[in-house]
Structure 1
Amino acid sequence: MAKHKSQEKSGNQPDNEKTKNLHSHIADASGEFMTTDHGVRINDDQNSLKAGERAATLLEDFILREKITHFDHERIPERIVHARGSGAHGVFKLYNSLSTFTKAHFLNDTSVETPVFVRFSTVAGSKGSTDLARDVRGFAVKFYTQQGNFDLVGNNMPVFFIQDAMKFPDLIHAVKPEPDHEMPQAASAHDTFWDFISLMPESAHMIMWAMSDRAIPRSLRMMEGFGVHTFRLINEKGEGCFVKFHWKPLLGVHSVAWDEAQKISGKDPDFHRRDLWEAIESGAFPEWELGVQLIPEADEFKFEFDLLDPTKLIPEELVPVQRIGKMTLNRNPDNFFAETEQVAFHVGHIVPGIDFSNDPLLQGRLFSYTDTQLIRLGGPNFHEIPINRPVVPVHNNQRDGFMRQTINKGKTSYGPNSLGNNDPQQAKARDGGFTSYQERIDAKKVRARSNSFFDHFSQATLFFNSQSEPEKNHIKDAFSFELGKLKTVAIRERMLGILTMIDKKLAEEVALALGLPSPKGPQQPINHSIPADAKQADFEPIVLKSTLKESPALSMSNTVKNTIKTRKIAFLAADGLEADSLDTVKKALLAEGAVVEIIAAKLGEVKASDGTGFPVDQSFLTAASVLYDAVYVVGGTAEVLKGEANAIHFVNEAFKHCKAIAVDQQATKFIAATYLSGKLPKDASDETILNEGIVMEADPARLAKQFIKAIAQHRFWEREKPRKVPA
């Protein structure tokens, strides 16, 4: 007897009423035209409708609004993106007034401390995912100013994957777990993501950042933040200038190794969240300086790239970052849900003196954020949740709705009115009323992008050329890992073609790691962000050779390396240790602001040779080298620790991950059992230590001094490639 078609699909399981009822709802898009939710065929799903190629996005774009509205409401109650976050309260204090450029009060008055709430987050993963996923990190700051709330909603990378908000749902659909089996969680190493990226050359610059060490920060306190978009500042005279916002961490910009990140995910998936919380609780308040790049309107078109293109940055060599103030996070939330989870950021929350540009990604976000909060936080009154309330009174004619908390007095809720003295009244500009920047616009309605948006590769190349050799190796390894996870070889090959446009040697090395032939060039057509009825040749990427060959500011190797504040140092200890060795080094590290934890075979106490007891903070069962920044093998412990397999692994792994290691001269027997044997520096000069990151010294005071210098360097990546350690 012949099988029914439904039985063939379901592994010979008999058909049932549930399956029959679902048949009419099954949609197969194979060979079909794209339509709206109401069946209207779509001519262009790549570009939003604008009043000119570089002009504002139009509200009448029903296709954009339908697409983003549907996307915004796909998940409840968790955020669709940036679901896993950590928050903290703090203050912002201005160094120098920007009154020449903006009338925003909090950027004018240096005597004012502006309260802030900051939320850091990963992007792709769910609330329960790991902190250490390879991912962009959200960096959102809510300023509670005396003119209302200003939200600077950014990331830890200065550019983005796409140029137009129309593509945002596609990007996130691609990076999220694949819909047929909901895997993998919080990871971009799968077919759908790279399928999308390999078809979108505009993503080339951002994907280089995502494959760099910026995607696996050591700490939320040790990463930069960027406003991503180009905004405008407006002064009292109504004059405007363009601005890019930066956050510069005073602890420097540091990362972990990819192997280390994967192990931390297993040992402590809350690693970043815990690190931020503990730092604030201990009084080691995280600090960032706010920087601005200011561009006069007259210079809008003087660069080799378009200021309105969110896949581009302004190299600091062309426009220096002026540091204008400092943000300090000094208080943890009292309730995670009420504050960190319910905080609602919105790129459209601006104050007089700050305005938007016509960046098409920014324009789409202006619609999306409000729409998202309506479903996530229960309705239009999400601004009344305590964490979202401004510090100034709110008066308008909005009324009622879910969860309304304000009790409005009076008869009128409309304007103009004569029954209520026409209150609340509109504020004139001189009274601090918000006025939009007056800009002449092109009146032609188009779905298109400016030709100036079609250079997709020059800044990707600039970024790669600016990296140190270890950073370049990490990028190569990241591409090899991610593309090696793909099941579809054709996607690997197409992505390798894209890499040839960035750096041919990089493409060849990744191809070799994947066992594929060296790519000759990208597949054609390369650009898929074009209208359905346009000529392909008109939208091919422009290949520019940037006059700027390198930008040192783009490399983490040039970051601050003069402090060990809040660095966690593991002291490997055992009975019989030398008390002076432990005490001297510990006091020196604590004096520099480091955190010291004693690790031993079991909890309780370890006894020094003179009988002094030292409390153990962690045992080898719960501690791991990946959770620490450096390791010190305490003197007098060699005989015991050389028989402790976990201690040997601890040091081997720290060596593999290029961390600073200090060894008391008396611990040589222990070192002989590790991979450090034969790799100790021949001399104890400062130059040797800063090159190798390994300190071996008999005098505890001298050892401590040298160890502090080594820890401040963060990592010694140069020893990574020639000395692979099977830890």
Structure 2
Amino acid sequence: MTTQDELRPTLTTEAGAPVADNQNTETAGVGGPALIQDQQLFEKLAHFNRERIPERVVHARGAAAYGTFTVTADVTPYTRAAFLSETGKQTEVFLRFSTVAGNLGSADAVRDPRGFAVKFYTEEGNYDLVGNNTPVFFIKDAVKFPDFIHTQKRDPYTGSQEADNVWDFWGLSPESTHQVTWLFGDRGIPASYRHMNGYGSHTFQWQNEAGEYFWVKYHFKTDQGIRNLSQDEANKLAGEDPDSHQRDLREAIERGEFPTWTVQVQIMPATDAAAYRFNPFDLTKVWPHADYPPVEIGRLELNRNPDNIFAEVEQSIFSPAHFVPGIGPSPDKMLQGRLFAYADAHRYRVGINADHLPVNRPHATEARTNSRDGHLYDGRHGRQKNYEPNSFGGPVQTGRPLWAATPVGGATGNHAAPTHAEDDDFVQAGNLYRLFSEDEKQRLIANLAGFIAKVSADREDIVERAIDNFRKADADYGQRLETAVRELRKQR
């Protein structure tokens, strides 16, 4: 009779040789020392020691799923991107959610922005839209990003996140006031990845077939409804189920409850940008909807879980520099820095050929480059020449830029971003505060005061600077926060 074991495939070494015994190490006699000739032992241990790659410096903690993006409106007057070319057209996508500051083993239910990175596998190559669950960010220039992240990560001496560092930087960087108000409001801790919005956050360029170009901002509005956690609820959940958001996403898709988002864009004619009341390329600002109402362009659905977290989630890479014809960058100084930084991070973290991995390579077309060799190279190019131009039938350039050229002028230098009529660091933070209900304001004040109160007793200057930024946004905001912080610090 055939046993069940006889029907199963044979376990092999990495080289394909059958393994005789996977339970006992080969030794010099019973009870003797292990032999170096035990290939299975040393192959397994060597591989095990190398199973991890460096985690992402930011956005290390994440979950992802595959799905589809469906066009629901005609946007051809604004962009020539092929995947947006007709109503009803579908494109495969891969969406990775993440927290920003925590490491790979941190909890999901924490107060932190959430990454919202979408890879569109289009017929013209992959388009990566790498955003967050907030429409703004803490800083407006990429040169400050390493310093900002250092304040959010562990202090080099204490090994812990320090309130002194966080509020020292935010207090000295008043541009952060708007995003800090978002972060410590009700939406600072989403109940799940399914119950939050996503935003491209940056301003991007769209160009149509006629060569006209427009500035756009992306919004992904959750169809499940916004749901958030209070600080107490989050503290409890983070301790009981650190994987709460990842588990919720995976199990919802397994149940067939596929989460969806309505995709909208704000569209600004290029000629409006110079005179607009806010710098349209400032990542710390929004475009008020009264000025540029969001219009629906599509629907995004997630309907398939990854089969292997390491291969498909950990090794997935996203770069804001991955554009397709008809879509391009803007002068946003944070975006400009990310065009380099993200791709460079993946070259270091995953390897120079990370784009060849199944989750990262184009699904609806083929990548044709002259890059060869290096870690993970699989020899896919065969005998093809590795230079251009060549006379051996190699790939050639199109001669047509992916996006429109934009005018520039003036002398080179370390320039601050240009200011517009209503550009200051506080007006939009104040506007956001005044939109909150009284209950929302009370929770915001409590969340902020609880953290500011942790600043060291001998650093009142840090406390005062932090509070003063909120006072400049709104007098009531600052006064209530000052009162709450002083009361908490008395109790310490």
| Same fold by TM-score greater than 0.5 | yes
Match of 2:234, SS state, is helix
Report what 2:132 is aligned to: 155
Conservation of the 8 A alpha-carbon contact between 1:76 and 1:375: no
Matches within 5 A, 1:360-371: 360-371=333-344
Q: Distance in 1 between matches of 2:375 and 2:54?
A: 16
Cα shift at 1:514: 2.1
Instruction: Name the aligned partner's letter for residue 431 of structure 2.
Output: L
Report what 1:299 is aligned to: 272
Match of 1:115, SS state, is strand
Instruction: Name the aligned partner's letter for residue 443 of structure 2.
Output: H
Q: Select the residue among 241, 245, 249 that pairs with 2:214.
A: 241
Cα shift at 1:299: 1.2
> Tell me, which stretches of 5 or more residues in structure 2 are unaligned?
1-51
Q: Please state if 1:470 is matched with 2:442.
A: no
Q: Distance in 2 between matches of 1:486 and 1:404?
A: 50
Matches within 5 A, 1:592-611: none
Matches within 5 A, 1:498-513: 498-513=469-484
Distance 1:413 1:93, change over 3 A: same
Report what 2:33 is aligned to: none
Instruction: Name the aligned partner's letter for residue 98 of structure 2.
Output: S
Matches within 5 A, 1:223-372: 223-372=196-345
Q: Distance in 2 between matches of 1:223 and 1:201?
A: 26
Report what 1:527 is aligned to: none
Match of 2:94, SS state, is strand
Cα shift at 1:411: 5.2
Q: Please state if 1:120 is matched with 2:91.
A: no
Q: Please state if 1:142 is matched with 2:142.
A: no
Conservation of the 8 A alpha-carbon contact between 1:118 and 1:139: yes
Report what 2:87 is aligned to: 110
Cα shift at 1:288: 0.2
- Superposed CA deviations along residues 656-693 of structure 1, whole A, max 9, x for unmatched, are xxxxxxxxxxxxxxxxxxxxxxxxxxxxxxxxxxxxxx
Matches within 5 A, 1:270-669: 270-378=243-351, 380-391=352-363, 392-410=365-383, 412-418=385-391, 420-421=392-393, 423-429=394-400, 434-452=401-419, 455-487=424-456, 488-515=459-486
User: TM-score normalised to the size of structure 1?
Assistant: 0.58
Q: Distance in 2 between matches of 1:411 and 1:304?
A: 54
Conservation of the 8 A alpha-carbon contact between 1:286 and 1:330: yes
Matches within 5 A, 1:672-711: none
Cα shift at 1:494: 1.4
Report what 2:109 is aligned to: 132
Q: Please state if 1:178 is matched with 2:178.
A: no
Match of 1:388, SS state, is coil
User: TM-score normalised to the size of structure 2?
Assistant: 0.85
Conservation of the 8 A alpha-carbon contact between 2:426 and 2:469: no
Q: Distance in 2 between matches of 1:516 and 1:474?
A: 16
- Superposed CA deviations along residues 70-98 of structure 1, whole A, max 9, x for unmatched, are xxxxx960100000001011001110121
Q: Distance in 1 between matches of 2:98 and 2:249?
A: 12
Q: Distance in 1 between matches of 2:384 and 2:305?
A: 42
Q: Distance in 2 between matches of 1:396 and 1:412?
A: 10
Distance 1:470 1:219, change over 3 A: same
Cα shift at 1:346: 0.3
Q: Distance in 2 between matches of 1:248 and 1:112?
A: 20
Distance 1:231 1:411, change over 3 A: closer
Match of 1:301, SS state, is helix
Q: Structure 1 stretches (4+) deviating beyond 6 angstroms?
A: none
Match of 2:366, SS state, is coil
Q: Distance in 2 between matches of 1:117 and 1:486?
A: 40
Q: Distance in 1 between matches of 2:437 and 2:397?
A: 55
My pick for the range that moved more, 90-99 or 298-307, is 298-307
- Superposed CA deviations along residues 123-180 of structure 1, whole A, max 9, x for unmatched, are 0000111111110000000000011000110000000111100000000001112111
Conservation of the 8 A alpha-carbon contact between 1:231 and 1:244: yes
Cα shift at 1:436: 3.6
Q: Distance in 2 between matches of 1:445 and 1:288?
A: 42
Conservation of the 8 A alpha-carbon contact between 2:175 and 2:284: yes
Distance 1:516 1:504, change over 3 A: farther
Q: Distance in 2 between matches of 1:200 and 1:139?
A: 25
Q: Distance in 2 between matches of 1:111 and 1:496?
A: 50
> Which of the two has higher C-alpha Rg?
1
Q: Distance in 2 between matches of 1:138 and 1:451?
A: 28
Q: Distance in 1 between matches of 2:241 and 2:383?
A: 55
Cα shift at 1:303: 2.7
Q: Distance in 2 between matches of 1:493 and 1:403?
A: 52
Q: Please state if 1:193 is matched with 2:160.
A: no
- Superposed CA deviations along residues 620-649 of structure 1, whole A, max 9, x for unmatched, are xxxxxxxxxxxxxxxxxxxxxxxxxxxxxx
Match of 2:359, SS state, is helix
Q: Distance in 2 between matches of 1:149 and 1:168?
A: 26
Instruction: Name the aligned partner's letter for residue 383 of structure 1.
Output: D
Match of 1:446, SS state, is coil
Match of 1:273, SS state, is helix
Q: Which of structures 1 and 2 has the larger relative contact order (alpha carbons within 8 angstroms, sep 6+)?
A: 2
RMSD: 1.7
Conservation of the 8 A alpha-carbon contact between 1:123 and 1:137: yes
> Tell me, which stretches of 5 or more residues in structure 1 are unaligned?
1-74, 518-727
Cα shift at 1:302: 3.7
- Superposed CA deviations along residues 11-53 of structure 1, whole A, max 9, x for unmatched, are xxxxxxxxxxxxxxxxxxxxxxxxxxxxxxxxxxxxxxxxxxx
Match of 1:447, SS state, is coil
Instruction: Name the aligned partner's letter for residue 102 of structure 1.
Output: T
Conservation of the 8 A alpha-carbon contact between 2:318 and 2:343: no
Match of 2:369, SS state, is coil
Aligned length: 433
Instruction: Name the aligned partner's letter for residue 286 of structure 1.
Output: P
Instruction: Name the aligned partner's letter for residue 434 of structure 2.
Output: N
Match of 2:151, SS state, is helix
Distance 1:235 1:510, change over 3 A: same
Conservation of the 8 A alpha-carbon contact between 2:205 and 2:403: no
Instruction: Name the aligned partner's letter for residue 353 of structure 2.
Output: N
Q: Distance in 1 between matches of 2:402 and 2:326?
A: 9
Q: Please state if 1:94 is matched with 2:71.
A: yes
Distance 1:108 1:490, change over 3 A: same
- Superposed CA deviations along residues 49-76 of structure 1, whole A, max 9, x for unmatched, are xxxxxxxxxxxxxxxxxxxxxxxxxx96
Report what 1:547 is aligned to: none
Conservation of the 8 A alpha-carbon contact between 1:120 and 1:138: yes
% identical aligned pairs? 43
Report what 1:26 is aligned to: none
- Superposed CA deviations along residues 506-563 of structure 1, whole A, max 9, x for unmatched, are 222222222279xxxxxxxxxxxxxxxxxxxxxxxxxxxxxxxxxxxxxxxxxxxxxx
Cα shift at 1:428: 4.1
Q: Distance in 1 between matches of 2:482 and 2:214?
A: 45
